[in-house]
Structure 1
């Protein structure tokens, strides 16, 4: 009987299901402390060594999950500076502590003040300075290093950001056009964390695509996980809106909205979160055109989608944006139809190339204007 009770009371840990295990991390809080400065030596006027500092270095291909795995208790401290002595009048500096972080990390202090934006490979920033060594100005006493907490906020950097409501087919499209392997199912909220895929072309050109979990109404006010997902589109060069041609209904408690109303709803969410996002170049993909009745719907809504401002009068007031999107192109597709995928890949590339050309010409004009100004300032006056 005792053995039976022991067996029943015995607990065994079973691993959680894979899709419930957290694999994506985009925010990390760290306690950092610079090293204490070494003490000076009053008898000989010796100066203590400066304490080491804690600094961050951006590195490609890294994730915050890997950063956490390499740290202990999310605390990082640099070593103290060496005390001055008869053998070493000038104490040696303490060793610095380097933390490698993903490219795209923004560093904030406890007051949410931005310290640094590490958006390039090898970009660095000191998050905790070391204390000064003891000298005559400090009565030969070493000073403590900086001690504070910093927040690392990761914003994905990708060429293209996929935006849409749940079950629009974003994950299906990402899997079809890239090397990513997102979870796909016929129900909303299949994607619960951002996915990154790479589109590779025959001439070795590649484009990165970020598939963000489906937004819900009120995402701008952080309903659901609004801010957690919306922040990742801030650094994309091109926004790709994906909308189900048959519309979307979040739940029985929510009204069913057609594809045009969904376009306005996405427009409104971005406007309320950050109006500057509407200035980003964007492409609209109307999905599920392979189903019966889809082409009839497309022919009805196409004139309004080409000019969103013309349909504002018919748009429900709660969905009506102040500023409407202007799409670079509108592409009817079927994410599950492989014959349509090359068209999507070509369209994305053409759009990005066109944007790069515009940026190059704009930069060239700015350089010319600056050169003209310099020449007019230093050149001889012609009378």
Structure 2
């Protein structure tokens, strides 16, 4: 009987581990090694071939799961250089190994230092160089290639990042806005891995939106999903903050916070992780307005949404942020209402376009200022003749 229980326990534990591993991978460690340089030929002064190198190349449509499938042992070795011989005095270079990785990859060494950021299609990073070929300068002995262990850290690139506490309705919203099919249920932490959806418009415009695991207090210090969540917000152009109009309670041991307190809490988590996130344009969605009592609940706090500073007196001291977030739009919604979803889609597009136009105007103004400054310097310079 005890033996049977142990077997069943191991089977259940293995099944749980397999389920939690899931399909999405955003971090992968690889051991890379450049090829050995070929030996030279002392009798004829021959030079051995250079060892091959290992490169990372950013490629659209690739995932870290694809990389793991290609290199299941997590080890990549480039080809060795050819040795010099009477038939070929100059040995041929070893075969390079090219690893195609997703766009948005950061390459980190063992110390955590950033070696490269592959955030555009076609960007390349030298992961491990090959050893030099043998010649008169090194006693005709080829050198070993560079060996190191690197971490590939993926930060999703999406136009919009959806931020909120668990069970705020993020997955329902993403499903309604886009062609993504996230798991949806009426309990917290349904989303345990990021999802990317695409919002499509009648004129064929497309905007990508990232549905990320629910945030909890302390995420900036890597509690809960922590940095696995927050790092994916860094490359978005717009934050879409969604809150439950009735507030949120993480567990029975935590105090329930109302919707206004949740805004301050999310604000502080983003600030503590990276203050620059608060400089991104932001839209606030107050969800679950279709439920009974929602109107009465939002009326208690909506006057503070446009000016969060006025509501600080209602905020617990531990939640007060140093820098307050500024909302471009505040939209009460029900994620199940088609009409309200269309309003959200339109608002997302308008804010992104407004910010893009503003950025272009700022660049143009900067160029004009530089041109005026250059003209003044020319006029004030020494005159000849």
TM-score per shorter chain, which class? over 0.9
Partner of 2:324: 324
Q: Counterparts of 2:291 and 2:335 in 1: how far apart (Å)?
A: 11
Q: Counterparts of 1:69 and 1:252 in 2: how far apart (Å)?
A: 42
Partner of 1:336: 336
1:33 and 2:28 correspond? no
Distance 1:377 1:45, change over 3 A: farther
Partner of 1:144: 144
State TM-score, norm by structure 1.
Answer: 0.94
1:233 and 2:238 correspond? no
Instruction: Using the TM superposition, give the Cα deviation of residue 314 of structure 1 relative to its aligned residue in structure 2, in angstroms.
Output: 2.2
Of 292-301 and 158-167, deviating more is: 292-301
Partner of 1:100: 100
Partner of 1:285: 285
1:207-246 superposed matches below 5 A: 207-246=207-246
Partner of 2:271: 271
For residue 29 of structure 1, give the secondary structure of its aligned residue in structure 2.
strand
Instruction: Using the TM superposition, give the Cα deviation of residue 84 of structure 1 relative to its aligned residue in structure 2, in angstroms.
Output: 1.1
State TM-score, norm by structure 2.
Answer: 0.93
Q: Counterparts of 1:246 and 1:165 in 2: how far apart (Å)?
A: 12
For residue 126 of structure 1, give the secondary structure of its aligned residue in structure 2.
strand
Partner of 1:158: 158
Instruction: Using the TM superposition, give the Cα deviation of residue 276 of structure 1 relative to its aligned residue in structure 2, in angstroms.
Output: 1.3
Distance 1:269 1:363, change over 3 A: same
Q: Counterparts of 2:292 and 2:102 in 1: how far apart (Å)?
A: 45
Q: Counterparts of 2:313 and 2:241 in 1: how far apart (Å)?
A: 22
Instruction: Using the TM superposition, give the Cα deviation of residue 363 of structure 1 relative to its aligned residue in structure 2, in angstroms.
Output: 1.8
Distance 1:91 1:196, change over 3 A: same
Partner of 1:167: 167
Instruction: Using the TM superposition, give the Cα deviation of residue 369 of structure 1 relative to its aligned residue in structure 2, in angstroms.
Output: 3.3
Instruction: Using the TM superposition, give the Cα deviation of residue 341 of structure 1 relative to its aligned residue in structure 2, in angstroms.
Output: 0.8
Return 5+ residue gaps in structure 1 as ranges. Answer: none
Partner of 2:85: 85
Residues 244-271 of structure 1: CA distance to partner in whole angstroms, max 9, x if unpaired? 0110111111101100000000001111
Partner of 2:76: 76
Q: Counterparts of 1:224 and 1:119 in 2: how far apart (Å)?
A: 27
Q: CA RMSD in A?
A: 2.3
Of 92-101 and 287-296, deviating more is: 287-296
Q: Counterparts of 2:290 and 2:188 in 1: how far apart (Å)?
A: 20
Distance 1:143 1:373, change over 3 A: farther
Distance 1:377 1:149, change over 3 A: farther
Distance 1:76 1:316, change over 3 A: same
Q: Counterparts of 2:36 and 2:370 in 1: how far apart (Å)?
A: 48
Distance 1:188 1:133, change over 3 A: same
Of 350-359 and 287-296, deviating more is: 287-296
Q: Counterparts of 1:82 and 1:72 in 2: how far apart (Å)?
A: 27
Residues 178-229 of structure 1: CA distance to partner in whole angstroms, max 9, x if unpaired? 0000000000000010010000001010000001110111111111121111
Return 5+ residue gaps in structure 2 as ranges. Answer: none
1:100-119 superposed matches below 5 A: 100-119=100-119
Q: Counterparts of 2:331 and 2:39 in 1: how far apart (Å)?
A: 69
Instruction: Using the TM superposition, give the Cα deviation of residue 365 of structure 1 relative to its aligned residue in structure 2, in angstroms.
Output: 2.2
Q: Counterparts of 1:224 and 1:206 in 2: how far apart (Å)?
A: 32
Instruction: Using the TM superposition, give the Cα deviation of residue 74 of structure 1 relative to its aligned residue in structure 2, in angstroms.
Output: 0.3
Distance 1:193 1:373, change over 3 A: same
For residue 328 of structure 2, give the secondary structure of its aligned residue in structure 1.
strand
**Matched residue pairs, number?**
378
Q: Counterparts of 1:150 and 1:272 in 2: how far apart (Å)?
A: 27
Q: Counterparts of 2:161 and 2:149 in 1: how far apart (Å)?
A: 31
Residues 113-165 of structure 1: CA distance to partner in whole angstroms, max 9, x if unpaired? 11100000111111000011111221211111100000000000000000000
For residue 69 of structure 1, give the secondary structure of its aligned residue in structure 2.
helix
Q: Counterparts of 1:325 and 1:68 in 2: how far apart (Å)?
A: 39
Instruction: Using the TM superposition, give the Cα deviation of residue 381 of structure 1 relative to its aligned residue in structure 2, in angstroms.
Output: 3.6
Q: Counterparts of 1:191 and 1:46 in 2: how far apart (Å)?
A: 61
Distance 1:177 1:154, change over 3 A: same
Q: Counterparts of 1:97 and 1:368 in 2: how far apart (Å)?
A: 47
